[in-house]
Structure 1
Amino acid sequence: MSTDEDYYAYLSAVSKEDYNYDFFPRFSKIFLTFMYSFACIFGVSGNTLVLIVFIFHEKVKTVTDIFLVSLATADLCFLGTLPFWAYSAAHEWIFGTLACQVIRGFYTLNLYGSMLTLTCVTIERYFAVVQATKVHVSQSKRTIWGKAICIFLWIVSLAFALPQFMYSTQAKYDKIICHANYSTLHMEQAIEITQMSLGFFCPMLVMLFCYFTIINTLLKAKGFNKHKSVKIVFAIVMTFICTQAPYNLLKLIRVVDRHVLLSWYYEYALIVTEAIAYFHSCLNPVLYFFIGVKFRKNLKKIVKKIGCARYREMAKQWQTTEDEGSKTCTASNNAEETSLHPL
């Protein structure tokens, strides 16, 4: 990851007096291993539940549903890379250069897929609330457009991830790590600035504009009950901004001023904000449950159906046991009657 790359590449330039040489590697190892593992377990469970509810119960009826399914899929794929980073943080990278390219590329692909999908969710809510009287498109056409936009988003995300697929490699410092090795510093700066600008800061500005306009529209409207679905999307977007902004700002500072890499304060801040940034993939299912009334109702229905199915299975087994017992009892009674009352 970027943290390991910066730490091991620039460690030789930092004196032990200026840097907590012994404590930082231990802190990084324990903290990142725990955070990656927790985020993976918690996030995979939650996002899998989201997909089950949306696909098998709600049947993905609206454009927002399509985007939210795409978001949960991106989160799952992103979380699938964390076990590799957890092992690398605890020990070292043992999976080779090809795996390094694939996993770093896959990680970046789904990270930007999540960002751009959230942006589209926000824009869709903007048209649904602010431009509701001006836009008249049938639900079927909206669904087709939603699917086409999702495909386009994944293509754009793949374009963002191409440098990671191309330039990621395995390297040996104090231990083996997986990092992006660009040919020049200017190339690295150009790629990172482009990715952060088009993949984070521009989408964030679009989200903020859309939601300020949506809130202004709702404040003027009479019935807020019609727009309860906005609450969950708003919470998801704000959570995304709060978790992603600190890490991306620190990355931007690193691109502008490389001297910050000599500060152990910056290294600690980068590690902590990076771990917080990864938690956005875990928090979306929590927001679905606590804010989305429709989601909670459908989840309860699924749990109830599972419970009813188990109850019916147990009842069937009990009935079979009772029937067998009844047959045994009847046969025994008939035998007693035969012996007591011979013909």
Structure 2
Amino acid sequence: MEFTSSMSPLNITEYDYSYDIESDLCEKSHSFEIFQFQFLPVLFSLLFLFGLLGNVLVIWVLITCQKLKGITDVYLLNLASSDLLFVFSLPFLAHYATDEWIFGNVMCKICSGIYYTGFFSSIFFITLMSIDRYLAVVHAVAALSVRTAMRATIISIVLWLVAIFISIPNFLFYQTYKEGHFMMCGINYPENTDNQWKLFTQFEVNIVGFLVPLSIIIYCYSHIITSLQRCKNKQKTKAVKLVVLVVLVFFLFWTPFNIVVFLYSLQDLHILEDCEIRNQLDLAIQVTTTISFIHCCLNPIIYAFAGEKFKSHVKELFYRNMGCVPLCKKCGIIQGPAVDHKSSIHTQSTNS
């Protein structure tokens, strides 16, 4: 039985225990230990707190105020749910960064599986939101019969199933094992195929989770920009603004991770074999994976600062639960546009 490293959150909190001579000759740098034991537990705990509160608030607003009547609202709900998948694994990872794995074999599989499911579902829904904006702006009339809330719900269910299917190998192969006196959580690929599986999962992340979505998004927004420049529709420009911001933030925080994953693939292909490069990649995967985790807290912040209706709904929910809605309405504390249940939380009309 051979356990090997993989691009997973569980592997940024442990050493690479691949049993090969070259690995044994490469000792980990002190920076690796400092980052793991001192920085990761604090960061994971903070991300859990802010990510949980922020994404629950987004889901609360979408369900309570918007009633999920807008197409974009359906996709935003699923995107927030994807972010929550990351958040739920963070307490386990915070503990694992400083100690052995104590949560059992089942949680070992779940924590790795939901990481990949959340990763792929996030990029799928961001890509889907870009396609939806493309249809709404470039093919507004022709897309009227296609862009319905029911169809958006069905598509969302299909994308979740695809994300889960792609993540199945991680549910299957991750398991607990003993390393000295410590219990670890790592990946156990089938015998004699471990390197092939590693390359497959890493290229899967790069291609399915980055290059293909990036190509689709570039195509969509290049045509959207051209269309907006031609017709100068202010309403449609506002409808695109938040989606563009969400997309930009996603790629800003996930591009470094994908670059390091690609470099790991070159290492597994024996193109990069230097010990110093190996140590730098080990530290880089810690840093870039940690950066990608920060992303789970950012979408609610984007909605809060860029979404007019989101801020209005949050104020309304706050005052309603404080029992002062009548007083607030009388004195004008609740401000902003009237709630339009047919529009999205970030603009007056995202369905147009």
TM-score (ref. length: structure 1): 0.83
Distance 1:311 1:271, change over 3 A: same
Partner residue in 2 for 1:333: none
Q: 1:158 aligns with which of 147, 164, 174?
A: 164
* Alignment equivalent of 2:16, drawn from 4, 7, 11: 7
> What's the secondary structure of 2:186's corresponding residue?
strand
Deviates more, 1:194-203 or 1:268-277: 194-203
Structure-2 separation of matches of 1:252 and 1:2:
16
Note the 1:95-114 alignment, pairs <5 A.
95-114=103-122
1:8 Cα deviation from its structure 2 partner: 3.7
Q: What are the superposed Cα offsets for residues 41-64 of structure 1, whole Å, 9 maximum, x if unpaired?
A: 111100011011110011111111
- Which of 245, 259, 275 is residue 290 of structure 2 equivalent to? 275
Give the counterpart of 1:36 among 44, 69, 72.
44
The question of whether the paired residues in 1 share the 8 Å contact of 2:123 and 2:213 is answered with: yes
Alignment partner, residue 73 of structure 1? 81
The Cα of 1:94 is off from its aligned counterpart by 1.0
Q: Amino acid of the residue matched to residue 48 of structure 1?
A: V
Size of the aligned set, in residue pairs, is: 307
Q: Distance in 2 between matches of 1:2 and 1:294?
A: 40
Report what 1:94 is aligned to. Answer: 102
Query: Could you list the runs of 5+ residues in structure 2 that have no partner in the other structure?
Result: 1-9, 328-352
Offset at 1:298? 1.5
Candidates 119, 129, 141, aligned match of 2:137: 129
AA of the residue aligned to 1:13? D
Q: Which residue of 2 aligns with 1:327?
A: none
Higher helix share: 1
Cα distance between partner residues in 2 of 1:151 and 1:122: 18
TM-score normalized by structure 2? Answer: 0.81
Instruction: Tell me what 1:221 maps to.
Output: 231
> Amino acid of the residue matched to residue 7 of structure 1?
D
1:178 maps to which residue? 185
RMSD: 2.2
Distance across 1 between alignment mates of 2:221 and 2:100: 43
Larger displacement relative to structure 2 (303-312 or 209-218): 303-312
Inter-partner Cα distance in structure 1 for 2:18 and 2:43? 23
Partner of residue 204, structure 1: 214
- Alignment match of 2:65 (pick from 48, 57, 64): 57
Cα distance in 1, alignment partners of residues 266 and 23 from structure 2: 21
CA distance in 1, matches of 2:18, 2:179: 7
Residue equivalent to 1:235: 245
Among 96, 118, 121, the residue aligned to 2:126: 118
1:147 aligns with 2:141: no
Q: Do the aligned residues in 2 keep the contact of 1:261 with 1:267 (CA within 8 Å)?
A: no
Percent same amino acid at aligned positions?
A: 31
For structure 1, which runs of at least 5 residues remain unmatched after alignment? 313-343
Inter-CA distance 6–23: structure 2 relative to 1 (3 Å threshold): closer
> Is the CA contact 1:32–1:86 (under 8 Å) kept in the aligned structure 2?
yes
- Return closer, same or farther for 1:78/1:303 CA change in 2, 3 Å cut-off: same
